[in-house]
Amino acid sequence: MRARDLDRYRREIGWRDAPLVDVAAPPAAPLVETGDLESLAREAASCTRCRLAEQRRTVVFGEGDPRARVMFVGEGPGAEEDRTGRPFVGQAGALLDAMIFALGFERRQVYIANVVKCRPPGNRDPQDDEVTACAPYLDRQIALIRPLLIVALGKPAARRLTGSTAPISALRGRWSSYLGIPVLPTFHPAYLLRTPLAKREVWQDLKAVRARLAEAPPSP
Ligand code: URA
Tell how far the Cα of 92 is from the centroid of ligand 1, in angstroms. 7
Q: Which of 216, 148, 155, 140 is nearest to 185 (CA)?
A: 155
Atom of ligand 1 nearest to the CA of 153: 3
Can you give the pTM of this predicted structure? 0.85
Q: What are the CB-based long-range contacts (under 8 Å, 24+) for 143-146?
A: 143/29, 143/30, 143/31, 143/32, 143/33, 143/179, 144/33, 144/35, 144/36, 144/37, 144/40, 144/66, 145/37, 145/66, 145/67, 145/68, 145/71, 145/111, 146/12, 146/13, 146/181
Ligand 1 nearest-atom number relative to CA 87: 6
How confident is the prediction along the chain (220 residues), in pLDDT tens digits per residue?
Answer: 344 544 443 444 333 333 333 333 344 444 456 679 999 999 999 999 999 999 999 999 999 999 999 999 999 999 999 999 999 998 999 999 999 999 999 999 999 999 999 999 999 999 999 999 999 999 999 999 999 999 999 999 999 999 999 999 999 999 999 999 999 999 999 999 999 999 999 999 999 999 999 998 877 6
Out of 114, 125, 141, 191, mutate this one to test ligand 1's pocket (max ligand atoms within 8 Å of CB): namely: 114
Pocket of ligand 1 (CB under 6 A): 60, 74-78, 81, 87-88, 92, 114, 190
Number of neighbouring beta carbons within 10 Å of residue 69 = 20
Q: Are 44 and 214 in contact (CB under 8 A)?
A: no
Q: Which domains does the chain have, with CATH numbers?
A: 32-215 (3.40.470.10)
